Amino acid sequence: MTNINDTLTERGSKYGSFADNGKLAQELKQVLRQQPGWDRLNPIMQEALDLTCMKWSRIINGDPFYTDNWHDASGYMTLVYDWLQERFQEVPEPKTMHIAEPDWDGMADSAEWLADKLRGGSE
């Protein structure tokens, strides 16, 4: 049986500190809950977004090259997509993705907007 302290040390090297992750994940979740569309989501959708916030926090605070976090985050979205596919015929089939050069300026603008929201700034 693995010693819990060994497990926590290993996880900390991949995910960052538990305190930092708790703070960031809760701030991200709060931003989502303040949006008018939050109440339109069912519990399955809300949980997938909650879990994805936790994965985003681990990516930011820990090792961003630890692929398991990225894999898990995409898995939560896939679970919602599959759930919708089973229930509603109007959900479109995924199309082949063509990978384009990232819009780094747009990503920077989005990151600045999110950081401002987390600090309590206005739009």
2-19 confidence digits (pLDDT tens): 799 988 888 888 999 999
Distant-in-sequence contacts of 117-122, Cβ < 8 A, 24+ apart: 117/31, 118/27, 118/28, 118/31
Instruction: Give dist(CA 72, CA 38) in Å, integer.
Output: 22
Categorize the per-residue pLDDT at 20 as very low, low, confident or very high, splitting at 50, 70 and 90.
very high
Instruction: Examine the pLDDT at 123 and tell me if it is beyond 60.
Output: no
Average pLDDT over residues 25-50: 95
Structure confidence at residue 52 (pLDDT): 96
Instruction: Examine the pLDDT at 91 and tell me if it is beyond 60.
Output: no
104-120 confidence digits (pLDDT tens): 666 666 666 666 666 77
